[in-house]
Amino acid sequence: MNAAIQHAWQRARRRQWWITTLLAVPVALAVSAVAWRVAGFNAGSLVLLLTLLVSVGVATWRARRLDRRWLVRRLDDHPVAQDSADLLFALPETLNRLQQRQRTHVAAALQARMPELRPRWPGRWLLASVITSLLVMALALGWPRGQNGAPLFPGAAAPPATPAQPPQLRSTRLEITAPAYTGQAAHVQSALDGKVPQDSRLHWSLRFSAQPQTAALQFHDGQRIALQRDGDHWTAQWSATRPALYRVVTEPALRDTRLYRLDVVPDRPPVVRVIAPDRSLVLGTPGQRQWPLQFEATDDYGVVATAQLKVTLAQGSGENITFREQTFSLSGTGPATQRRFARTLDLAALGATEGNDVIAQLTVRDTHTPTAQSAQSSSVILRLPSAAEIQGTDLEGMVKKTLPAYFRSQRQIIIDAEALIKERRQLPAEEFIKRADAIGVDQRILRLRYGQFLGEESEGGAKPPPTSDVLPTSDTPASTNDAEHDHDGDHAQAQAGHDDHDHGAPTDGNAAVFGSASDVLSEYGHTHDHAEAATLLDPKTRATLKAALDQMWSSEGELRQGQPERALPYAYKALGFIKEVQQAERIYLARVGPELPPIDEGRRMTGDRADLASRTLPLRALDAPDQAIVQVWQQFADPASAPDLDALTQWLRRNEARLPDPLSLAAAIETLRITPDCADCHQALRAQLWRALLRPLPQVPRRNAPDAMGQRYLDALEATP
């Protein structure tokens, strides 16, 4: 069989499949419409799915019926095949020469002119199928209802429920209408569980297989909403203000009394992020006139298009600080859920001069109704330099260039140690140990310098180290020259916001020496205590700096013993910790005035101490755990006793706010209440109770009783005068 015949055959099969499908789909839609009208939405959906599957199956079966025998008959119907189409599918070795020649002739003729094998479109049948299906669907959807609201189909009305024939849910419909500020359209679902926005309006429409006398929605917190009958439908409405568990209760009772869960998603307040500047404190430049600001506000539903930018100007110093606030209205750009606000402040128009602080903070609101939620950005500060700071810039730079000669960097210590290791074979043993000890002295000085910023005591006072130990000498390798110094921020004042200089007067009482670093700093720099700077470091940065000091200590010990190879791992670890400290975040506080309560002028200078509370904070005993949940937990441990579910429910209502997932615990309680003999339900409730139990506070452990030898030792200590 050549390719032309194969292609024509496949086209005929596809045409047959489409004809059958198009004839069956309208019928499936009509049957589904009738089922939906009679039995509800769930039944209609199921019937539609089944009929579509049947239609596809029938179409595939009819397409496969166009097999090889059909193909031979269809080819023989055309004169071009000369009633010899069966020769095309026979094996060549089974044919004689005459049959082989006839086969070749027929194949060539079909190759030149292939007849049309596809069946014709049944236009009349397709039109009749569509028209009939439309009429059936129109009758099913528009057929009038009876006085009780049921469709007037024979046998469609639900019979009254009896204890022998209890009702069961036939169809469910839950319509969710979210608040207008969310921008979400109302939608309908068949499931009675759901996650809805807070304050959504819920509308239930239920149908039962047998009509109950009464029906209601019973919530886990005791609330009960009666279902109103409207024909065959039972409806109710509720505003979703809180998460809830509920079940459908009827009289007579339903066969299936399962719980349904409604999770309520509250509207989160907006979040404001500062885009520019990229840090909370910006040090202004001399002559700066403008300050660009940019913020981004995000919200789950939407941010109001306008925001308020509050700008505070702080002037003066000490106790003579004055403040002036101005508010600007900004218009946002971008989508409602992610708006950007930008403003370039004119410092001259604000009245900002040298030494002033300009503090900016953005306030945005979301679209929540009736009360909008607001959020503020973090404050950003522009600190304009004063005239004294501008004049001292050159001196500060000169001092910073001098100090590295006294306090070597951690990276430089590593470079010196590696260079010394390379020259080990060329140096005498005594000279090698002496130079390793000198590098260890450098490590010690750097460690003590960092230790001051953790409040540690310095060793030997604050005087500069001897020149023979620290300054470069003829024995120092060429790698220690100033050109190779890579000061990686070993001066810890970069983390605490201080200048790199010694503070305080010399401790040895000697007279000032011309050119000494400590005297230069004492005369031209400002002084303050490094121990106070330690309190400005956050706990994580302090811990990292402490780890760096520990590694420096180990490195120093190995260097002083003439083992630079063993010191390098510690030195590298110390360098890594120093880099982490450099990248630590800092917090800057703006100069703002105190917000003290107003003074009662009528009581001033009268000595009246009425209603004055004690300044001593009383010790408050920790509340003991609620015994209700403890008793229920103990009841679970005793197989003979039944847990008190009512007491547990009351405890849950009192402690619902502190539990991370109260609905799961409530669901476990209600499930066990419905099926008290369920072993798995007991285990599920025990697991939920274990998460709800308060963890006991850690107590001081009692000391273990000593053994005989230990007791003799303690007795000997007490007997010793």
pLDDT-derived band at 463 (thresholds 50, 70, 90) equals very low
Q: How many other β-carbons are positioned within 10 Å of the β-carbon of residue 339?
A: 25
Q: Is the model's pLDDT at 172 over the cut of 80?
A: yes
- In angstroms, the CA 155 to CA 146 distance is 13
Write down the residue that tokens 């106070």 correspond to. 532
- In angstroms, the CA 549 to CA 165 distance is 82
- With residue 434 as reference, give the H or E element that holds it: helix 429-451
Q: Is the model's pLDDT at 56 over the cut of 50?
A: yes
pLDDT digit string (tens) for 691-715? 888 776 667 777 788 888 988 888 8
Average pLDDT over residues 135-149: 65
Q: What is the mean pLDDT of the chain?
A: 77
Q: What does the block give as tokens for 504?
A: 């305080």
Per-residue model confidence (pLDDT) at position 406? 38
Q: Is the model's pLDDT at 297 over the cut of 90?
A: yes
Per-residue model confidence (pLDDT) at position 158? 62
Looking at the chain, the whole-number percentage of residues with pLDDT higher than 90 is 27
Angle at alpha carbon of residue 572, lines to 544 and 576, rounded to 5°: 35
Report the Cα 650 to chain-centroid distance in Å: 33
Q: What does the block give as tokens for 506?
A: 């010399």
Q: Is the model's pLDDT at 514 over the cut of 60?
A: no
Write down the residue that tokens 């007491």 correspond to. 647
Q: Report whether 222 contacts 246 (CB < 8 A).
A: no
Q: How many other β-carbons are positioned within 10 Å of the β-carbon of residue 487?
A: 17
DSSP characters over 80-141: GGTT-GGGGGS-GGGS-HHHHHHHHHHHHHHHHSPPP-SPPP-HHHHHHHHHHHHHHHHHHH
Q: Is the model's pLDDT at 227 over the cut of 70?
A: yes
Q: Which amino acid does the sequence have at 692?
A: A
Q: Which residues pair with 240 in a beta bridge?
A: 200
pLDDT digit string (tens) for 344-375? 999 999 999 888 999 999 999 999 988 999 99
Q: Report whether 484 contacts 413 (CB < 8 A).
A: no
| Higher-pLDDT residue of 641, 331 | 331
pLDDT digit string (tens) for 66-88? 877 777 777 766 666 666 666 67
Per-residue model confidence (pLDDT) at position 146? 41
- In angstroms, the CA 385 to CA 284 distance is 6
Q: Which of 56, 70, 66 is nearest to 18 (CA)?
A: 56
Q: How many other β-carbons are positioned within 10 Å of the β-carbon of residue 112?
A: 9
Per-residue model confidence (pLDDT) at position 386? 80
Q: Which amino acid does the sequence have at 183?
A: G
Q: What does the block give as tokens for 289?
A: 């006139």
Tell me if the bond preceding 277 is cis, omega within 30° of 0. Answer: yes
Per-residue model confidence (pLDDT) at position 651? 85
Q: Which of 254, 186, 180 is nearest to 217 (CA)?
A: 254
Helix (H/G/I), strand (E/B), else coil: 312: strand
Q: How many other β-carbons are positioned within 10 Å of the β-carbon of residue 710?
A: 11
Per-residue model confidence (pLDDT) at position 161? 64
Residue 520: phi, psi to the nearest 5? -60, -45
Q: pTM for the whole thing? A: 0.50
Q: Report whether 65 contacts 22 (CB < 8 A).
A: no
Average pLDDT over residues 180-195: 90
| Higher-pLDDT residue of 46, 116 | 46
pLDDT digit string (tens) for 473-497? 333 333 333 333 343 444 333 333 3
